[in-house]
Chains A and B, each alone.
Chain A
């Protein structure tokens, strides 16, 4: 069974600084997707960034980038130039696109990020 582990329950960063959130996962599949979702107090889960396992290049979306280490099964999120609006719960998630009952997201336990002005 696939598992996702986020070992940092809470993190804090100063505004304009850089922070890295950790995520590790376990799977025997070779084809899968990894995601970082953000959930602010407004409650909506917002997709931050997505990585396909077959792509070696790390995904980047503006100030957000990932460090994807497939052999180590590690998928960390780097937030550069942190802004007050980045404060939220961040969930790492694993998905397998190969159909059947495995087509569902498996979430980590989340990291609560605080941004200090």
Chain B
């Protein structure tokens, strides 16, 4: 199994809603990442977890809250988002905190 699986694929939420994005991998990778990608732009790193501990937070607003329940799962909890948060959210994993990322196919988020 060499995949990173993200759910849901699409999500529409209101600015007062609370929702969660989920990411799962079974490759034994110990580092997991959340990226945000706007249309026709490169991915921007948001968070990095290494051995289930948050190791990098790229000054992301607190309305985004990551969680790593175990080495295979990564969640991104969303609350009180703004329309400008609409984007593709990509999850990735790698063997320890190294640079070769394996990406999921993303969640397309629309905030209305």
Contacts and interface: CB of A to CB of B under 8 A. Distances in A.
Interface in A67-110: 89, 91, 95-97, 99, 101, 103-105, 107-110
B32 interface: no
A84 B102 CA distance: 24
A91 B42 CA distance: 7
A97 B106 contact: no
A45 B42 CA distance: 10
B99 A97 contact: yes
Interface residues of A, number: 25
Interface SS majority for chain B:
loop
Contacts, number: 59
Interface in B27-74: 33, 40-43, 45, 48, 56
B97 interface: yes
Nearest to A45: B103
A111 B43 CA distance: 14
Nearest to A34: B99
A89 B45 contact: no
Contacts of A43: 88, 90, 105-106, 108
B102 to A, nearest CB: 7
Interface of B: 33, 40-43, 45, 48, 56, 88, 90, 92, 97-106, 108
